[in-house]
Structure 1
Amino acid sequence: MATSGAVDDRALKHSQALHYDTLPETGYFRLLKLHPGSDSDAIKADLLVRSIDQAADTYEAISYVWGDPNITEQVCCNQTWMSVTVNLADALRTFRSLSSTTLVWADAVCINQRDLDERASQVKQMDKVYINARRVITWLGRDPDGIAGDCFQLIVETNTIFDDEYLRSNAPPWDQPRLTEPYKISTDGAQWAKVSTLLQKPWFERVWVVQEVGLAKECTLHWGAHKIDVAHIFEFAHWHGWKASFASIPGILALRLRTGRLFQMYVDVHARYANVTSWRDTLPLIKFQGSRKRKGSFPDVLMVGNQLKATDARDHIYAFLGNPYARDKDGQPIVGVDYKKPVDGVFLEVTCAMLQHSSSAPWVLSCLEHNDVQQLRERTAPSWVPQWGQPETLPTLASPNYWYCAGGPSDTFTASIRDTKFLEVQGCVFDEVAWLSKVILAWNARVDTQLWDNETRSANMPLIDTLWQDLGKVLTVSEDAFTTTLSKERPANRPKIVNTQQNLEEYNTYCSHVRAACSSAPSQESSASFDGSCSPHDFEWSLLYCHGRRLMVTKNGRLGISPGLAAEVGDVCCVLPGASVPFVLKPSGQGVYKLVGDCYLHGVMDGQIIEELQGGRCKLEMIVIE
C-alpha cells in the first residue's frame, strides 16, 4: 500500500484533525471530490459543501463497513492529512478515476463525526443522500483468495436459469417445479462455499446498508476487482427462499439463514420504498415481489434490523427513519434524531410513538423478547418496550400480512401510556399456562443430523418425537392438532388456507427422514433427492420458525407455542382487541403484569375469544403492564 506525493509535508500535517466548516442549514451536505490517481498514488481529495437537491445525480454514494478503527491509512483532504480506516481507503482507491475527478459521498469523511448535533442533522436527511445519488457503490473489501469472480458468476448463472424457467411458466414463484436430477444448476459444494464466504462479509451484517441499498437507483457490489449488480444478490435470496427443494443441493442449505435474512430485508423494507427509479425493477422475481403491494408496518421494519449490527445502538431506530412506515400522517418522522439521548430513552420514545399510530400499534408488542424469567423481573425498562437490536429476537408471530385475527379487526386496538412506565390496554384474560416443553432449538430441528447438539444426538431420538412423547404425558391430542400447532397454521397463507393433508404429508416426510438418520439401517426416505410431492425441508422450515419457543399446554387444555425463555407455569394468556395474536402476561402483584411476549394458541387465532366476549361468555378488563 505504498503512496507517493507530498511526503515532505506529511510529517507536519500527519496528526492534524480535519477542520469542518459549519454547514449552512438543513438540506446541505458535503461531497468528497476525489483527485485522479493510480493504485500507487496517495489518495487526495477536497470537501465541497452542496445543496442535496441541486447535487442530485452528480455523485456516487459509497456503502461500506468502516472496519477496524485501529488500522488506518493517511489520506490528504483539503490539504490536510487525516486518518481513515483501511477499508475506506481501499474503497476510495478503487472508485477514483485514473484521469478525472470523481464526486463521492462517504459518511466517515463527509460528516463531522465529532459533532453530535451535525451527525443528528445529517442522519435526518440520509435518505435523500442515497435517493439523489447517481448510483450507490458498495465496497465489500479485498478478495485475498481470488474467489469473487467465480462466486458472482455462479449467482448470475443460477438466477438466469431460474428466471428463464419462471418467465416461460406463467406460474407464480411458489408454484415453480421442484429441482430434480440431473440438476441444471451447479452442484459443486466447493463453488457454493464461495457464496457462503460472500454472504459472511461484514457488510451484509451492517444495519445502515438496508436503507443505503433500498433507496438506490442503481447499486453495484464490489469485491476486490469484481462486481455484481445488487439485484442479483436479492434475486438469488428469493429463489433460495421460494424453492424449498433448493436445499437438496450440496452446500446450499448452509446458506438458508443468511439468504433468509436478505429475503426478509427485501420483503419488509426494500419493497416498501417508493423511489420510482430503482434496481428493484431489473430482475423478474424481485420485481414481482415489489408488485404484490403487501401490507407493512414500522415494527416489521425494525425487526429486520434486529439481526444486523450497529456501532451505536440508537441506529437500530435512526437507520430506518427514511422508510415510509416511519412517517406520520403529515409525512414527518415519528421520532427525531438525538444522539445525546440515552439508548433506553430512544427505544421508549419510538415504542410510544408507534403505539399512537394505527399502522404500527397492533404489531409493536409482538417485537419483544426476554432472555429469562430473572431478567424480566429485574429489568428497569418497562417490559412492553422492545430492546431493539437484540440479534436473538424471536421471529414475530404478528404481521399485517398474516391471517391471524385473535383480537378482531386491527383498527380496534387502543393503548394509553401513563408516566412513561405503565401501558394500559383493554383485554381479556382467558387461560393460564399449565405446562411447557423443552426449548425448541433450530439446529435440533434440522434435517441434517450433524447440526444437532450432543444431547439430541445422544438421545437417538429426533426432536419432533421427543416433543410428541413429552406432550402425550400431559395432553391427549391428535397428530393433526400437533402438526398444525407446530406450523402455526401457516400464518402467511392469507386469506386463511390450512391444508391438513399437505401438512401431514410434509410432517410424515420430515419424520421419516430424521428417524432414518437416527438409525444405522439404510432407509429409502433418507435419499438426498426428493422427487415426491414434498421434501423433508418443507416441514423443517416450519419448525425453524419455532426456534427459541416451547410447546405450551394451558389450564383449559389448549395447545400452543409459547413466547421465549421467560414464560413459566402460572403465567396467564390474554387477548387484546385489535391485536392479531394472544399474549402471555406474568402477574407481578397488585393487579399489574409484565409482558412476557406473544404466543400461538390453537383454536384462538381466528377471533374465537372475541366471539366469546360478544356473546357475554367472558369480559374485558383494564390490563396494566409495567
Structure 2
Amino acid sequence: MGDLAPSPTSSIIDVVGPSHATHPELKSYTALPDSHSIRMLVLEPGSPIDPLRGRLEIVDINSAGSYEPVSYVWGTSKLVDKIYTRHGSDDGPLRLTASLKEALVRFRLPDQERRLWADQICINQSDVAERSQQVQFMKRIYENASHVLVWLGADGTSLAKPAFELIRDLNQLFQNELQRGEFYTEHTNRLGEQSRDKWKALDHLADCPWFTRGWIVQEIGTRASATLFWGDEEIDWTVLHTVCETLTAYHHLRTRLNIRTSEIKYVFRRFVEPDMTSHHANRVNFIYELQRARGLKFTDHRDRVYAWLGHYSKPWTFKSFAELLTADYEKTLAEVYIDVAKLALKAALKENINDGSGLIVLAAVQHMHLRPSEIPMEARLRDRLTDKDSLPSWVPDWRTYQSFILSEPINPHRAHGSTTPILAFEHNDRLLRISGIRIDEIELCSRPLAIKEFHLTDSSEATESTIEYIWRHMCGKNEFNLTGQYLSSDESCLFACMQTLSNGCVQIATREKMQYHSIPKSYWLEQEALYLAKALGQSDKIAPELHRMAEMARSVHMDEQWSRSANGASKNRVFAKTQKGFYVLGPKVAEPGDIVCVLFGGKLPFCLRPLGDQYLLVGECYVHGLMNGEAMDMMSRQELIEEAFDIV
C-alpha cells in the first residue's frame, strides 16, 4: 500500500503533548481538499527527552499507505503543551493532552520516522463539519492499518510487568494439555484453597481506563494486529484476549476470586463478523451492539451511536445502519437517539419481521427512574410530546445501563407467536402507537434484585437468602417442593418461580449450544434442585424429592449453572406477581398498577404504566406461561382482544 500512496500535502509541526476536545487556533489546519481525504502524522525520530516533532500529510483514504493508528484515552482535558503548524508565514499553535504526549514519546523511534494517525491531531476537533465527515472513516482507518498501537498509560507504580507476566504464563500453561488439566483440577475441585493474591495483577490491568473507553470498539475491533503498551512494558493483543477467553470457562473461579476478564475480551474484533453458530450471533443486530456498549465511557454521548458506524450489523436484512445513519454533530442527543429508535422500528415494519427481534429497541429501554411527577396530567403529556430535549419513554437512553436485554436476538422465547409489529408514529414522531394484547395488572413487586443475588457462598449466617425471600414473600410459600400448581398448567409453582428468575434458563442452553425447545423440563428442575441444595444445605425447608434430584444430578457430574443464569437475568430487575397469579421478572422501576401486555412482534412481554389514556413504556419482562405464543392462542379463542397502546 505504501507504494500506492499519492504525493501528500504536508505541514511541519512541533508536537509537545496530546490534544484537546477543541482546537481554538483553527488557522493551523490546512483544510481538507475533498470528502475522501484524511491527515497523517509523520513523527520524526528522537530520544525520550527530545521535543516531539513531525509533519502532517493530507492523503486519500483509499490510498493512505502504511501507517499505525494510535488508540489511547484522552484523559484530562487540560492542555499541557503546544503544537506549531507552519504554512509559509502563517503560524498557529495547537495543543495536546498529557496522555497523547506520553503515547507519542513512547512510540517515537530513535532513528527513523514513524507514520501515525491520532484523532486528536489528525482531525480538526473544532470544525463540526469535519468531525462529522471524518468520523465515518474511523473503521476504515483502523481496519486498513499495518498495526495498531494501544497506549494504556504510564505505569508509575510498576503494575504492568507482573500483569503481563501472569498473562504470558497462563498463555503458555493453557497450550499444554497436561498443565491445563492440572490447572482445571486445582481451580475447580480445590477452588476453596486458591488465593486471590496472584490474580490481583489481572485486576490492575482491567482497571486501566482504556478498556472502558467507547471508541476502542472501532479502534481495536478489526482484524488488524495490535500491541498494548503500558509504561515500558508491552504485550500482544491476541495473547491477552486468548487468555481472557480461556478463563471464561472457569465461571466459579472468576466469581469466587472476582477475576474480571469480560471488560478485556469484550472489545476483541467487535467489528469482525462472528461465528453465527455461537451466542456471538447476537452481534449482527445493531441495537444489541448499542446495548452491549452501554457500560463504555464517551465524552460526547452522541458517539454511543456514531462509534458503531461502519459496523457490519444491520437493522434487519435490507441495509446496514452505516447506510442509513450518518454522523451529524449538529443534532441534539435526543434527536440522535430518537432517530435510531424510529429507524429500528421502521426497519421491522419494512421487513415484516416475525422472529421476535422487531421490537428489540423497545426491549432495550432501561429506565433509572419512572415515577410520574406531581405536575398535572395535561402538562406531563404536553411536555413528553413537545420537549425536544427529552426522550419519549419508548426510546432507549444509551447513557444508562441496568442489565442485559432478555430479548437478545438469539433468545428462543416467542411470546408474540408469529405476529409482526403493528405500529405508527404520531405527534412529530414522539408518540408510538403500537398494537398488542393486555394480559393482566401487577399486584405485588419484590425489592430490586442486585448483582450476584443468587451467588453461592460459604457463609453459614442464619439470614434469609434471596431465594427464600422470593419464595416466602412473593410466592406465599414456605417449603420448597413440587406440589403447588402454577395457574392452570401442569407445572409446579417452584419450577415457574425458578424459571422466571433465570429468564427460562435460556443462557444455559446458549452456552452449552443446546436446542432450547428440545430440552426436557426435568433438566432445568435438576439445575434448580442443585442450586437449592447448595444454597440451603440440609435445610428441612427443601422437600426430600429435591434433595434426591440434586444427588442424582451430582452423580452424573452435572455442574450447577442456574445461579449464573439467574444472577445475569435478575440483576436490577424485580420479581413480581400479577392479579391472576402470573410470575414476572420485570424492570427495576416496575410497580403495582403497571399492566403486562404482549405486543405484536415482541419475543417477550412488556410492562406499561397508564398515564391517562396513554402509557409509559416501563420495559420488557419475562412472564412464565406466556413465553411461547400462549397469549396469541388466547386471542384466537377470543379470551383476549387486540388493543392499540399510545406510548409517550
TM-score by length of 2: 0.79
Contact 1:136 1:216 in 2 (8 A): no
Residues in 1 aligned to 2:314 and 2:565: alpha-carbon distance in whole angstroms? 31
1:94-173, aligned counterparts within 5 Å? 94-162=106-174, 165=177
Contact 1:149 1:226 in 2 (8 A): yes
Q: Which amino acid aligns with 1:299?
A: I
Aligned to 1:173: none
Q: Does 1:548 align with 2:572?
A: yes
Aligned to 1:486: 501
1:25-424, aligned counterparts within 5 Å? 25-56=34-65, 58-70=66-78, 72-75=80-83, 78=86, 82-162=94-174, 165=177, 179-181=187-189, 187-247=194-254, 251=257, 254-256=258-260, 259-263=261-265, 265=267, 270=269, 273-274=272-273, 296-326=284-314, 329=318, 332-358=322-348, 361-374=358-371, 380-390=390-400, 392-409=401-418, 412-418=420-426, 419-424=428-433
Structure 1 gaps, min length 5: 8-13, 170-175, 275-285, 451-456, 519-529
Contact 1:295 1:401 in 2 (8 A): no
Residues in 1 aligned to 2:176 and 2:342: alpha-carbon distance in whole angstroms? 47
Contact 1:581 1:599 in 2 (8 A): yes
Contact 1:583 1:597 in 2 (8 A): yes
Identical aligned residues as a percent: 27
Three-state SS of the structure 1 residue aligned to 2:62 is coil
Residues 1:288 and 1:398: Cα distance change in structure 2 (over 3 Å):
closer
Aligned to 1:623: 645
Q: Which amino acid aligns with 1:151?
A: A
Aligned to 1:576: 599
* Residue 247 (structure 1) shift: 3.1
Residues 1:181 and 1:447: Cα distance change in structure 2 (over 3 Å):
closer
Residues in 1 aligned to 2:239 and 2:213: alpha-carbon distance in whole angstroms? 19
Contact 1:296 1:401 in 2 (8 A): no
Residues in 2 aligned to 1:143 and 1:168: alpha-carbon distance in whole angstroms? 31
Q: Does 1:564 align with 2:561?
A: no
Q: Which amino acid aligns with 2:285?
A: S
Residues in 2 aligned to 1:6 and 1:91: alpha-carbon distance in whole angstroms? 12
Cα-to-partner distance string for 1:265-304 (whole Å, 9 max, x where unaligned): 55xxx45625xxxxxxxxxxx9898897566311101001
The more displaced of 186-195 and 421-430 is 186-195
Aligned to 2:463: 460
* Residue 190 (structure 1) shift: 2.3
Task: Decide which of 468, 473, 481 is 1:470's aligned counterpart.
Answer: 473
* Residue 241 (structure 1) shift: 2.9
Cα-to-partner distance string for 1:135-166 (whole Å, 9 max, x where unaligned): 21110001122221221232233244445559
Three-state SS of the structure 2 residue aligned to 1:255 is coil
Cα-to-partner distance string for 1:331-366 (whole Å, 9 max, x where unaligned): 553222111211111111111111111376331100
Q: Which amino acid aligns with 2:365?
A: L
Aligned to 1:595: 617
Contact 1:306 1:393 in 2 (8 A): no
Residues 1:150 and 1:217: Cα distance change in structure 2 (over 3 Å):
same
* Residue 72 (structure 1) shift: 2.3
Contact 2:218 2:270 in 1 (8 A): no
Residues in 1 aligned to 2:429 and 2:448: alpha-carbon distance in whole angstroms? 33
Aligned to 2:7: none
Cα-to-partner distance string for 1:382-417 (whole Å, 9 max, x where unaligned): 110111121x3322111221101111247x224221
Aligned to 1:279: none
* Residue 123 (structure 1) shift: 0.7
Residues in 1 aligned to 2:413 and 2:403: alpha-carbon distance in whole angstroms? 18
Contact 2:505 2:565 in 1 (8 A): no
Structure 2 gaps, min length 5: 1-13, 17-22, 375-379, 385-389, 479-483, 487-492, 540-553
Residues 1:219 and 1:499: Cα distance change in structure 2 (over 3 Å):
farther
* Residue 507 (structure 1) shift: 3.8
Residues 1:604 and 1:447: Cα distance change in structure 2 (over 3 Å):
same
Aligned to 2:439: 430
1:497-536, aligned counterparts within 5 Å? 497=517, 498=519, 500-515=521-536, 533=557
Aligned to 2:516: 496
After superposition, the CA RMSD in angstroms is 3.5
Residues in 2 aligned to 1:39 and 1:232: alpha-carbon distance in whole angstroms? 28
Three-state SS of the structure 2 residue aligned to 1:616 is coil
Q: Which amino acid aligns with 1:255?
A: I
* Residue 81 (structure 1) shift: 5.1
* Residue 74 (structure 1) shift: 4.0
Contact 1:62 1:104 in 2 (8 A): yes
TM-score by length of 1: 0.82
Residues in 2 aligned to 1:502 and 1:210: alpha-carbon distance in whole angstroms? 38
Residues in 2 aligned to 1:317 and 1:294: alpha-carbon distance in whole angstroms? 17
Residues in 2 aligned to 1:222 and 1:324: alpha-carbon distance in whole angstroms? 29
Cα-to-partner distance string for 1:305-343 (whole Å, 9 max, x where unaligned): 211110001001100112122578355532221112111
Aligned to 1:524: none
Contact 2:605 2:621 in 1 (8 A): yes
Residues in 2 aligned to 1:191 and 1:37: alpha-carbon distance in whole angstroms? 38
What is the number of equivalent residue pairs in this alignment?
Answer: 567
Three-state SS of the structure 2 residue aligned to 1:227 is strand
* Residue 473 (structure 1) shift: 2.5
Residues in 2 aligned to 1:557 and 1:407: alpha-carbon distance in whole angstroms? 20
